[in-house]
Amino acid sequence: MKTLVVELGERSYPIYIGEDLLARSDLLRPHVAGRQVMIVSNDTVAPLYLRKAQAALAGLQCHSVVLPDGEQYKTWEVLNRIFDALLEKRCDRHVTLVALGGGVVGDMAGFAAACYQRGVPFIQIPTTLLAQVDSSVGGKTGVNHPLGKNMIGAFHQPQCVLIDTVTLGTLPDRELSAGLAEVIKYGLIRDLDFLTWLEANMDALLRRDAAALAEAIERSCLNKAEVVAADERESGERALLNLGHTFGHAIETGLGYGSWLHGEAVAAGMCMAAALSARLGWITAADLARVEALVKRAKLPVRAPAKLDPERMLALMAVDKKAQDGRIRLVLLQAMGKAVVTDDYDPALMRAVLHEYRRD
């Protein structure tokens, strides 16, 4: 087992990474302060792992709430079901919420924990690659609004993140690839060595080689933990983690949540960000080809869906939270392994990329 720490002063917390950690009550229990626990999961993950999680929490008053599965249920209405369960079970402000599932469950359980009784502790047990390398770390929580992705939310850090790599065994291939998008992102924005490592190990990752996956998860969490420690509330460096996301969120919102996976939309978005960077002369055509080749090898899209009109994409991108003063701020690549946040680009180039980067 590996332990990393997200250094945030008195709110610091460990990330445990290893095999069969879900059964390790010795890891979980010290992070539960009170007697009550509410496990939040969904109807896909609960049948697979809820009993195991309950067993690890034996001896506590352990409740659970099972939400419908899907990004389209990451809503205010479904969030309310968590509050219903907490109140029905008379959970007090010492209850610990446990998020057992992918990023959707993690974001919703975390947001519920941020709000319930003005804030209760919570634990992340991410079960998708995407959640293990990204969403479970860093304390961003929230739900979607029909007009914009993740628009309602709060910062709320977990007590710990418990990553049981064995849970990836049941993850569909498409979801594994979606997680790889966020993994590639770390390489592109701040870790060129990791990008090279990914190029050498992509086949092993797709085969679900345990050692390769563990390495990718650890390296990703290390990058995420460093960024969050340096800029918890996203006043600077943390924004770099949004590479591809302004494009990606527009794809997700434009198609309707749950059509393209978040990671798929981010993958196409990263290619578009790289393409704009290339047009600006910041990276070379060969660099751009390198980005697209890796994204393709991860079995991810390198273009936006054809049916999404570029003008609609632009309108949606302007709603995204990265927009300031009406100008769309973007994360672009200054070089391979080095990202910047900027609105200093020619909008005509951006339009050109939106038109070019559509599927035929």
Ligand X SMILES: NC(=O)c1ccc[n+]([C@@H]2O[C@H](COP(=O)([O-])OP(=O)(O)OC[C@H]3O[C@@H](n4cnc5c(N)ncnc54)[C@H](O)[C@@H]3O)[C@@H](O)[C@H]2O)c1
- Nearest CA among 112, 125, 152 for reference residue 57: 125
Residue 41 engages ligand X in binding (rule: CB under 6 A) = no
CB-nearer residue toward ligand X: 102 or 269? 102
The residues near 216 (Cβ < 8 Å, ≥ 6 apart) are: 133, 180, 183, 198, 201, 205
Give residues 198-217 in contact with ligand X (rule: CB under 6 A).
none
331: its two tokens:
């994360």
CB-nearer residue toward ligand X: 46 or 275? 46
CB of 349 to ligand X, least distance (A): 27
Residue 42 engages ligand X in binding (rule: CB under 6 A) = yes
Q: Classify the phi-psi angles of 244: left when phi > 0, otherwise alpha if psi is within -120 to 50, otherwise beta.
A: left
Which x/- pattern, by CB under 6 A, does the window 97-136 give for ligand X?
----xxxxx-x-------------------xx-xx--xx-
- How far from 163 is each of 144, 168, 228, 258, CA to CA, in Å? 25, 10, 18, 24
Catalytic residue list: 118, 140, 182, 224, 234, 238, 242, 245, 249, 262
CB of 21 to ligand X, least distance (A): 13
CB of 282 to ligand X, least distance (A): 25
When binding is defined by CB under 6 A, the residue of 121, 138, 187, 269 that contacts ligand X is 138
Q: Reduce the DSSP state of residue 167 to 3 states and report it.
A: helix
Which x/- pattern, by CB under 6 A, does the window 245-274 give for ligand X?
-----------------xx-----------
Q: List, as one string, the DSSP characters of 277-326.
A: HHHTTSS-HHHHHHHHHHHHHTT--SSB-TTS-HHHHHHHHHHSTTEETT
Residue 69 engages ligand X in binding (rule: CB under 6 A) = yes
Residue 71 engages ligand X in binding (rule: CB under 6 A) = yes
Buried b (16+ CB within 10 A) or exposed e, 318-347: ebbbbeeeeebbbbbbeebbebbbeeebee
The residues near 88 (Cβ < 8 Å, ≥ 6 apart) are: none
Give residues 153-182 in contact with ligand X (rule: CB under 6 A).
167, 170-171, 175, 178
Residue 45 engages ligand X in binding (rule: CB under 6 A) = yes
**What's the CA angle centered on 160, arms 173 and 153, to 5 degrees?**
75
* Residues that bind ligand X in the complex, under the rule CB under 6 A: 42, 44-45, 48, 69, 71, 74, 101-105, 107, 127-128, 130-131, 134-135, 138, 140, 150, 167, 170-171, 175, 178, 262-263
